[in-house]
Amino acid sequence: MEVIMVDQEKCTGCHQCELWCGNEIASVSKELPLAINEDPQPVPRVHVEGKRFALQCRHCPDAPCITACPNGTMRRDPESGLVFVNEPTCIACWMCVMVCPFGIINPSSSLKVAVKCDRCRNMEFPICVEVCPTNALKLVDRKEAAEINP
Amino acid sequence: MRHIIIGGSAAAISAVEAIRSVDQTSQIELFTDEETPLFSRVLLPYYIAEELSKQLLNFRSLDFFDENNVIAHLGMRVQEISPDSKTIRTADGNHYEFDRLLIATGGVPIIPSIPGMDKEGVSTLKTMADAERIYNFKAKKAVVIGAGSVGVEASISLKRRGLKVSLLEQLGQVLPTVFDEKASSIIRKSIEDRGIEVITGEKATAFKGNSHVTSVITATREIECDMVVVAIGIRPAIELAKNAGIEIGSLKGIKVNDQMMTNMAGIYAAGDVAETHDIAHDMITINAIWPCAVEQGHIAGLNMAGKESRYAGSVRMNSIGNFIGHPAISMGMIRAEAEKAGVEAGEEFQEIKKSTKDIYRKLILKDGRIAGAILVGQTQKAGVIGILLKKRVDVSNYIPILMSNSLNFIDVLPLIRRNADKFTEPEYKELMDTGL
Amino acid sequence: MEFIQKKTNDRAAEPFLLKAAEKGISLVWDRYEGQLPECGFCESGLSCRDCLQGPCISHPFRGDQSKVGVCGKNKDILGVHSLLRLVVKGTMAYLDQVIDFAKDIEAGEVSPANKAQTDGVIRHIQGLFETVGPEVMEAFPEALTNRWEATGIYPEGIARDLFKASQKLEGGITGVNETLLWTFKCSLLGCVSQMLQGKLKSSVFGNAAPTELEVNLGILQKEVPTILLYGHFSPVLKQKIAEVGEKKNVSIMGVCTDPLLPPYIFAPVTSYGSQEIPLMTGAVDLIVSGDQYVNPSLQEVAREWSVTIVPAEVLERGQDLGRFAEQIIDQAKKAFDARSGISKDIPDVKESAVFGFSVDTVDMKKIVDAINGNKIKGIALLAGSNNVKFTQDHEIVSMAQEFLKNDVLCISEGEASIALAKYGFLNPQFEMECGKGLSGLLSSLGEDIPSILDFSYAQNGGVTEFLLGLTSVEKKEPKEYPIVAVFPEANRSMDVTKAMWTVAMGVSTFFWPFLPVTGSPKTMEALTAFCKETFGSRFHVITRKMDARTKSTMVIKSLKGEDELHLDDNPWS
C-alpha cells in the first residue's frame, strides 16, 4: 500500500499542498479564483503542521478511527487499503477526531462531517504530491518505508 | 471450531470481524434479542430527532452476516449458559453447542423504583423498540431524567422534534461523569440556549397521571409533561453469566483477563458488560462506550480464533460532536481527586487549565503522564493527547505545547521518538525518520 | 494546472523548439513547465513581501489567524496592493524611458529636428517631479480631466503620483477603493510619460510617416554582420548605432524595440515570446540589450551560438554615445568574421507590415462617422505582448480575425503590433477577411491601408494617441463611443499600467491572463461596479477559461452593449 511521506528537509512550509487540495478536492468549483471565495470555506485534507511538515492521514493498518466510528462511516477500501470517510452517513459525532493520534481529521462544523484525506482515492495521483514544488511529498510503498526505519 | 456470540452490537460484530480475519471457515452463530440487526445505539437520538432514517442507523451493511458467513438469530434471547456441557439454551427451547463463547450482552438501563414508572409515556432509551416508541409518541412536553450522554442527546432530539423539554439531573451538573464543572457549565449554556429547561440537583420522586403520565414530581416542584425519558444509566447485563457461575467483579461487570477471557476457559466477555483495566485511572472500570466495545470485541475475537492478543486496556472517552453545536471531548480522568481509588502515596497529580472566550482546555497529569483531558470548543487535535494518554508517555516537558490551541502532531514527534519502544506501529515508525 | 499543448503559432520559430530540445537548451516554455504549479497565493494576489515580518499570505482555506498578514493587511488590501505594486513598476518603466531619452538629448548627443519644440518637451519632462504641465493635460477632453480632478486622481507629477502612491504599500489605513484610485493616479503618470516620449521622439527625429518594412526571422541576412537591438534603451544610442552601422554595412534589426526611429528602421525579427530564437539561427553576431523586455536567458543561448552580448544599460556607459556605437559596430564586424564557420539556419518566413500611423495620417473624422453611421460596430485597441501561458500569438491573432470579420476597427501598438505583423495583419496587400462596413472604412482611409493600424510611433504614444484623436473630432469623451481595449496576452507591469490608464480614460478593458486580484472580493468589485460608476468603464478580470473565439464574441457583444456574461453583476466572471 502506498503512503505519502514527507521529506522534512525539503518541505518549505509553502502551503501549496493545502491550497491545491483545497481547490481540487475540497472545493465545489475546482477553480482557484472561485474556490477561494466559496461558502462554506473548502476544507483541505492535508495540513502544514508546526513550521514545515505537511501531514495527512496515515491510513493506519489498524485504524483507531474505524474502531471509534459508531456507524460505519469510516471505512477501509478493500482494494487499496485506504481509509476514507463515507460522508453521506457521517453524523459529525467526531469520535474519530477524538482518537486520531495524528490529529489529521478535521471536525468541520460548516460541512457537518469529519473531513479526512483519502489519499485521492478516486484520482490518478494524490494532488499534494503532484503540486509540491520541492518534491518534499512522495508516494512510497509502505513496505519500503518500513525498511527505511527498521 | 464452533463460535457462539451472544449479543449483536459493537463488541459482537467486532468479534465476528476479528475471527474472520484469521479463520474463514469455522462456524459462527450469533444470537441477539434485537429484531433489528446491526444498528448503532449511539445513533438512536438522531433517529428520534428525525435526522437519520432507520437505514442510516446501520453500522454495517445488512448483508454483513451473509458476507461473513455468520448464522444470525435475530430477536432470539439466550436463556441459559451451561459451561460444563458447553451449550446455550435459547428462548425457543433449542440448545446450541460451542467451543468458544463470547458474552457481549451489553448493558440494561437502570430502572429507578419511582412510583408511576410503568405509566404510558414513560420510557428508557436503549433498544430499537424504545427508540420507536419514543419516536411515535405524540407528545408536546417531555421530561428527560438524567443528564448523561444519552439524556442530553435525547433532550436535544426531542427539542428538535418540536417538543418542550425539561432536563432533570440529580447531581449538580449536566454530564457529571464526562465533564468537569467548568466544561459542563459551558455545555449547559448551549443546551439552555436551545430553549431546553435544565434542572440540576433535583431528583424525580414520582410520576403522576392516570394511565398516562401527566407530570414529574421532585422535592421542590411538579413538572407537567406527557412524555418521560428515563436515562439515568445502565448496568451490565450479567444475569446469564452470573447464573452460569462466571465470576462477576466488584463493579458488577463480568471479570476478564487481558485476553478478554472470563474465569471459565473458552468463555469470553467484551463490551459494556465487561470490567476492564482503565489506563487513565489505572484501575478496573467498566467503560461503556462504543470504541472500547469495538476494541474489546476485536481482542476477544482474535483470542477465540486462536491468535493470542492482549488488551492494552480501555480509556473512557466521550465526544460531543456537532450535535450540541459546541464540540467537546473528554477522556480519562475528569478531576484530579486524590481520594480516588488507585492513588498510591507519593503519586502526584497536576491539573492544568486554560480558559478563553470560547475555549476551555484541561489536562490532568499523574506523575507526569496524562491521566485525563477535557477540550471544549477547540477539539481538532484531541487525538494527539489521546495517544499520549494511551501509551502512557511522560509528557512533563511538553505541557505548554499540549495546552496550546495550535498543538499539532509534529510538535510532539520528538517525544514520540524518545518513546519509540511504545510506538511500534508502522504509521509511527514511518514518520520518525524525518530528521526532526 | 495546464500544460499548453502547442507552444507557438509562429511557424518561423516552431522548428527551433525541437532544435533547442535536442541541444538541451532551455527556452521559456521549458522553464514555465518547470515552474508549475505557480504559487496559487501569489496568483490570487493573496501574498505580500513588502517587509521582513513576512512573507505573508492570506490563506483561503485555513482559520482566522492565517487570513491577515502580520501587519494587518487583509485579503482585500493584499489583493489591491498586488495590483498597485505592478502599476508602480509599470509607471516607473514608462518614466525611465522618457527621462533616459531626455537626458541624452540634453547632453547634446543629437541635433533635434525641431529645437524649440524639443526644448519645450524637455522642460516638461524635467518638471515631472512636481507637476504635469497643463500643455500636456490639455490634450485630454475636459470631461476626463474634470472627472480626474473630482476623484482626486489628476496627475500631479512623480512626487505624488508615484512616490506617494507607492507608500500605500508601506502600510497605513486606506480602504480598497481609495487605494485603487491611487493606483489609477499612478497609472496616469505612466500615460503622461508615454505621451511625452512620443512628443520627444517627434520633435527630435521628426514625425513618422506610415512606413513599410518586413518582419520575422526571414529578414535576417547571413552575408553581413548582424546586430539585434533587444528591449528598450536610449533612442539616441540606437540612432547612433544605426548611423554607424549604415556606414559600415552592418545590418541592425530589433527585438522588442521600436521599429521606427526616423530615418532608421529596426525591423522586428521576432516578438517577445520567441526572443531566444533569433540567436539560434546563427545569423546574429551581436546583440545590444536594454533591461525592459530582455530575458536573462539570452546569455545561455548566446553562449551556444557564440553571440556577443553588449548590455547598454550599464554603470559605466560613458558619455560619448558615438564612441560607444563605434565600438559596438567594430565588435560586431569582428564577431562576424570569427563566426563565419557557424552554420546559418534562417527560415524563409517573413511578412511585410506597415507601422507608424498617427492622427496626422489617419482621418479620425471618417472613423467617427463610421461609428455614428453604424458602419462599424466599434473599435478594439489591441495591446500587450506575448505570454507563455498561451500559445504564442494565438489569442491575439484569433481575436483580431474575429474582430475584423465583425466590423470592429482594430488599432494596435507595441508588441501587439509586432505579433500581428507576423501574420499579415499590418500588410496592405494581405486580404484579411473584413466585414463590409470595416472594409469600406479602411478603403476610405487611403490607398495602402492594412487591416489593422499600428499607432506605435505617435506623438501621444500608441492607444492614447488614438483615443485623443478620436475624442477631439466631436469633443466627446471615449466612454461615449463603442470602444474597448483588449490585452490578449499581457505580460509586463507596463501592460497593467496601460490597461489601468485606459480604464481611467473611460475605455473598458479586457485583460488576459487575469490580474492577480482574484482573492480579494472588494478589489474585484471595485474594478467592476466602482469603476463603472467612477469612469463609466470596467476593468474585466475574467477567470473563466475560454478559447479565443469565445473571448472575441464576448468582447464584440460588449461593444454592442450586450453583457452576455453578466459581467456587471458577477465580478468573478
Answer yes or no: do A14 and C39 touch at CB < 8 A: yes
CA distance B430 to A143: 10
Helix or strand or coil: residue C176?
helix
Answer yes or no: do A26 and C61 touch at CB < 8 A: yes
Question: Nearest-CA distance from A47 to chain B in Å?
Answer: 10
CATH code where residue A91 lies: 3.30.70.20
Residues A17 and A40 placed together within one structural domain of the fold: yes
Where in the sequence of chain C do the CATH 3.40.50.2030 domains occur?
217-338, 353-566
CA angle at B37 for the pair B35 and B38, rounded to the nearest 5°:
155
Residue A68 near chain C (CB below 8 Å): no
Band the pLDDT of B346: cuts 50, 70, 90. low
Fold of C217-338: Rossmann fold (3.40.50)
Helix or strand or coil: residue C102?
helix
Tell me, yes or no, whether A111 lies in a domain: no
Strand partners, B235: B108
Residue A133 near chain C (CB below 8 Å): yes
**Distance between first and last Cα of chain C:** 19
Q: Indicate if the pLDDT at residue B347 is higher than 80.
A: no
Residues A77 and A121 placed together within one structural domain of the fold: no
Q: Which of B201, B303, B316, B221 is nearest to B260 (CA)?
A: B303
Q: Which residue of B has its CA nearest to A53?
A: B410
Fold of C47-205: Substrate Binding Domain Of Dnak; Chain:A; Domain 2 (1.20.1270)
Cell of C277: 530564437
- Partner residue opposite C57 with nearest CB, options A15, A22, A133: A15
pLDDT at residue number C468:
94
Q: Indicate if the pLDDT at residue B353 is higher than 50.
A: yes
* Residue C436 Cα distances to A3, B93, C373, C411, angstroms: 64, 99, 13, 18
Contact B134/B231 with Cβ under 8 angstroms?
no
Q: Residue C414: in which H helix or E strand, if any?
A: helix C414-421
pLDDT at residue number C461:
80
Contact C463/C485 with Cβ under 8 angstroms?
yes
pLDDT at residue number C568:
54
pLDDT at residue number C1:
33
pLDDT at residue number C570:
59
Please report how many Cα atoms fall inside a 13 Å half-sphere around the Cα of residue C300, on the Cβ side: 12
pLDDT in tens, chain C (573 residues): 345 578 999 999 999 999 999 999 999 999 998 888 899 999 999 999 999 998 999 999 988 788 999 999 999 999 999 999 999 999 999 999 999 899 999 888 788 999 999 999 999 999 999 899 888 899 999 999 999 999 999 999 999 999 999 999 999 999 999 999 999 999 999 999 999 999 999 999 988 889 999 999 999 999 999 999 999 999 999 999 999 999 999 999 999 998 999 899 999 999 999 999 999 999 999 999 999 999 999 999 999 999 999 999 998 877 788 999 999 999 999 999 999 999 999 999 999 999 999 999 999 999 999 999 999 999 999 999 999 999 999 999 999 999 999 999 999 999 999 999 999 999 999 888 999 999 999 999 998 899 999 998 888 888 899 999 999 999 999 999 999 999 999 999 999 999 999 999 999 999 999 999 999 999 999 999 999 999 999 999 999 889 999 999 999 999 988 775 665 555 565
* Helix and strand totals (H; E) in chain A: 6, 8
CA distance C141 to C156: 17
Residues A102 and A122 placed together within one structural domain of the fold: no
Query: Does the bond joining C428 to the residue before it have cis omega, within 30 degrees of 0?
Result: no
Answer yes or no: do B319 and A97 touch at CB < 8 A: yes
CATH code where residue A17 lies: 3.30.70
DSSP for B28-76 reads EEEEES-SS-SB-GGGHHHHHTTSS-GGGGBSS-TTHHHHTTEEEEET-
Residue corresponding to grid cell 489583493: C79
Tell me, yes or no, whether A124 lies in a domain: yes
The whole domain housing A88 covers: 60-106
Q: Where are the alpha helices (DSSP H) in B328-421?
A: 382-390, 399-403, 409-418
Burial of A143 (0-12, 13-18, 19+ CB in 10 A): exposed
Burial of B93 (0-12, 13-18, 19+ CB in 10 A): exposed
CA distance B174 to B198: 8
Residue B381 near chain A (CB below 8 Å): yes
What order of strands is seen across the sheet that includes strand B274-278?
B254-255, B274-278, B283-285
CA distance B266 to C522: 71
Contact C309/C287 with Cβ under 8 angstroms?
yes
Widest pairwise Cα distance in chain B: 73
Tell me, yes or no, whether A97 lies in a domain: yes
List, for residues B104-151, the tens digit of each pLDDT value.
999 999 999 999 999 999 999 998 999 999 998 889 999 999 999 999
Mean pLDDT by 10 residues, chain A (150 residues): 88 93 93 92 91 90 92 90 91 90 91 92 92 92 64
Residues A45 and A87 placed together within one structural domain of the fold: no
Q: Which of B288, B303, B298 is nearest to B110 (CA)?
A: B288
Residue corresponding to grid cell 497605513: C172
Cell of A20: 491545491
Residues A47 and A95 placed together within one structural domain of the fold: no
Tell me, yes or no, whether A133 lies in a domain: yes
- Partner residue opposite A31 with nearest CB, options C57, C60, C543: C543
Q: Which of C245, A149, A79 is nearest to B431 (CA)?
A: A149
Residue B66 near chain A (CB below 8 Å): no
> Is the model more confident about B391 or about B51?
B391
pLDDT at residue number B431:
85
CA distance B144 to B170: 11
Average pLDDT of chain B to the nearest whole number: 91
- Partner residue opposite B386 with nearest CB, options A99, A104, A112: A99
Q: Which residue of A has its CA nearest to B319?
A: A95
- Partner residue opposite B434 with nearest CB, options A6, A68, A106: A6
Contact list in C for residue A31 (CB cut-off 8 A) is 543-545
Widest pairwise Cα distance in chain C: 69
CA distance B326 to C378: 60
ipTM of this predicted complex? 0.91
Beta strand ranges found along C82-193 (DSSP E): none
* Residue B57 Cα distances to A25, A86, B17, B135, B413, angstroms: 28, 14, 19, 14, 37
C-alpha torsion angle, residues C547, C552, C555, C558 (rounded to 10):
-110
Contact list in A for residue B149 (CB cut-off 8 A) is none
Q: Indicate if the pLDDT at residue B296 is higher than 60.
A: yes
Q: Output helix, strand, coil percentages for chain C, rounded to the nearest 5.
A: 45, 10, 40
Backbone dihedral region for residue C48 (phi beyond 0: left; psi -120 to 50: alpha; all else: beta): beta
CA distance A104 to A95: 13
Chains that touch A (3 or more CB pairs under 8 A): B, C
CA distance C124 to A105: 65
What backbone torsions phi and psi does residue C438 show, to the nearest 5 degrees?
A: -65, -45
CA distance A32 to A38: 10
Tell me, yes or no, whether A112 lies in a domain: no
Q: Which of B252, B247, B4, B216 is nearest to B122 (CA)?
A: B216
Residue B233 near chain A (CB below 8 Å): no
Contact C256/C352 with Cβ under 8 angstroms?
no
Backbone dihedral region for residue C515 (phi beyond 0: left; psi -120 to 50: alpha; all else: beta): beta
Work out how many domains chain A is built from and give that number: 2
The pTM of the whole model exceeds 0.95 = no
CA distance C281 to B429: 57
Answer yes or no: do A71 and B322 touch at CB < 8 A: no
Tell me, yes or no, whether A149 lies in a domain: no
Query: Which residues 128-147 of A have a C-beta within 8 angstroms of B?
Result: 142, 145-146
Please provide the CATH number assigned to the domain covering C353-566. Answer: 3.40.50.2030
List, for residues B62-108, the tens digit of each pLDDT value.
999 999 999 999 999 999 999 999 999 999 999 999 999 999 999 99
C424-462 in b/e burial notation, b at 16+ Cβ within 10 A? bbbbbeeebebbebbbbbbeebeeebbbbbbbbbbbbbb
List, for residues B208-248, the tens digit of each pLDDT value.
999 999 999 999 999 999 999 999 999 999 999 999 999 99
* Residue B319 Cα distances to B44, C162, C299, angstroms: 16, 58, 64
Please report how many Cα atoms fall inside a 13 Å half-sphere around the Cα of residue B115, on the Cβ side: 7
CA distance B273 to C224: 99
Where in the sequence of chain C do the CATH 1.20.1270.30 domains occur?
47-205
Strand partners, B216: B207, B223
CA distance A102 to C352: 67
Question: Nearest-CA distance from C545 to chain A in Å?
Answer: 10
Burial of C119 (0-12, 13-18, 19+ CB in 10 A): middle
Tell me, yes or no, whether A147 lies in a domain: no
Q: Which of C526, C468, C492 is nearest to C184 (CA)?
A: C526
Residues A101 and A124 placed together within one structural domain of the fold: no
Tell me, yes or no, whether A84 lies in a domain: yes
Q: Where are the alpha helices (DSSP H) in C312-375?
A: 321-338, 364-372
Residue corresponding to grid cell 449479543: B7
B410-434 in b/e burial notation, b at 16+ Cβ within 10 A? bbbbebbeebeeebeebbbbbbbeb
Burial of B208 (0-12, 13-18, 19+ CB in 10 A): middle
Q: Which of B241, B245, B269, B265 is nearest to B256 (CA)?
A: B269
Residues A1 and A50 placed together within one structural domain of the fold: yes
pLDDT at residue number C565:
61
CA distance B164 to C20: 79
Contact C411/C381 with Cβ under 8 angstroms?
yes
Residues A34 and A76 placed together within one structural domain of the fold: no
CA distance C551 to B190: 53
CA distance C58 to C48: 9
CA distance B367 to C409: 84
